[in-house]
Amino acid sequence: MTASSQPQKRGFDWGKALGVLGDSLSIIGGGQAQYVPSLIDQRNRQQAQAYAEQQYQRRRGDENADWIARQEWEAANRPAPQPTEFERLVAASGLSPEKQTEAIQNYVRSRANPIDWIRADNGDGTYQLVPMGPNGPINAAPQAPAQNAAPQRPKGKLTPYNGGQTATPSGNFR
């Protein structure tokens, strides 16, 4: 526990009295005082530290107020959002506003549900690219499953066209 964090004692301080008495006797004997100057130095250091802390807190508060004011100003003076490159191209295309809106909606929809291309083996050595959406093949006619029919094996071999599974890593990964 430091001296500054100790509670202040009430009443007579015998330590200070003995220190002052010792300094008095030292001066009478032709020496120099040691206790009182160290007490004054200690008080000066504490005051300097308190002043530095006060200055630091004031500077920090000023910086925080400046930052808040800057954030508020930027929020109030934010420029209007600029159109994307696709929106600029659609606007420059000369389409009617309804067609422009439809084109932008289709673009956003295709970005939300990207299409994966799968290379399907036709079985005769040729391959066909099949577009796969998040819910299965795109533009494939949905087939109703036959009642109590066993699942059929796929014809050909489906292999990923772009990407796919990677090889197992070598080494001991745990």
Domain regions of the chain by residue span: 17-76, 79-123
Beta-ladder partners of 133: 136
Report which of residues 164 and 107 the model is more confident about.
107
Q: CA separation (Å) from 136 to 67, 97, 115, 120, 161? A: 51, 33, 10, 14, 15
**Average pLDDT score over residue span 10-33:** 84
Assign 1 a pLDDT band (cuts: 50, 70, 90).
very low
* Sign, CA torsion 82/88/94/98: negative
Mean pLDDT rounded to a whole number for the chain: 80
**Average pLDDT score over residue span 16-20:** 85
Helix (H) or strand (E) holding 61: helix 35-76
- Smallest CA-to-CA distance from 19 within 50, 42, 1 is with 42
* pLDDT score at 44: 95
